[in-house]
Structures are given as C-alpha cells and as structure tokens.
C-alpha cells in the first residue's frame, strides 16, 4: 500500500485530496492541528487514513511529523503540503509576530517537510 502525508487534511481541499487518495488505495497520514475526528471520518467510506496531530509553526514538530507519518504508512511515497494559515488583516495592521507565524506554517513548514 502506498503511503501519503497530507497536511491540513481535516478541511477543504486537504480533506478532498485525502479522501481521493484513500479511495485510490493509499494509506493516508492525515495531518491536522486540532481536528482529529474530522480526519478519522475520512475512513468511513472504506480505505485507510490515520489522523496525525502537529503544530506546523514548530520546526521540531515538522520533523517529527515526517517521521511519524512514514512509520504509520510503512514509508511515504507522497507529500501534499496543503496546510495553511488564513489571517484577515490589512497592510497597515501587519505586525512582525503575526507575519512570522503565517510564514512559519505557510512557507517554512513545507520546506522542512519536503
């Protein structure tokens, strides 16, 4: 069975990708930040998905996530970097800490996972 890690697998596009991979016979390590039950629901139609929690703003958690996902799926063949942070703001209101938090998940995490 092929193994895949899908980040942000609990909602929107990530969930659709995870569901499609499971339907195609993949064992999906479905990453979530706080929605394990949503990822577990992907297996209701059959197939195999395992919920894996990680805070992608933490660089150590990214490294642990890759290792954990590889162990769960008996080897990763696919990585889908889908997770992202959405923050409503205005250009005049941007603060360095908020920017760094967004970039940690939206840019640094995909690089570390890759």
Residue 45, pLDDT > 70, answer no
Check if the beta carbon of residue 81 is closer than 8 Å to that of residue 17: no
**Highest mean pLDDT out of 44-48, 67-71, 93-97:** 67-71
Q: In what order do the strands lie in the sheet with 48-53?
A: 48-53, 27-32, 3-6, 78-80
In order of 37, 47, 51, 60, the CA distances from 63 in angstroms are 23, 26, 17, 5
Check if the beta carbon of residue 22 is closer than 8 Å to that of residue 42: yes
Question: For 49-65, how does the pLDDT look when each residue is reduced to its tens digit (9 = 90+)?
Answer: 999 999 999 999 999 99
CATH 3.40.980.10 fits 3-113, yes or no: no
Write down the domain spans for the chain.
Answer: 3-113
């Amino acid at each position: 069975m092929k193994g895949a890690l899908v980040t942000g697998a609990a909602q929107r596009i990530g969930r659709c990708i995870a569901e499609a991979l499971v339907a195609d016979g993949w064992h999906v390590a479905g990453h979530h930040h706080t929605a394990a039950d949503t990822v577990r629901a992907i297996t209701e139609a059959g197939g195999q998905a395992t919920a894996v929690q990680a805070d992608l703003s933490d660089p150590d958690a990214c490294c642990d996530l890759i290792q954990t996902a590889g162990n769960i799926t008996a080897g990763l063949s696919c990585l889908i970097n889908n997770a992202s942070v959405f923050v409503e703001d205005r250009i005049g209101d941007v603060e360095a800490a908020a920017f760094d938090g967004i970039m940690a998940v939206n840019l640094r995490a995909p690089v570390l996972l890759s």
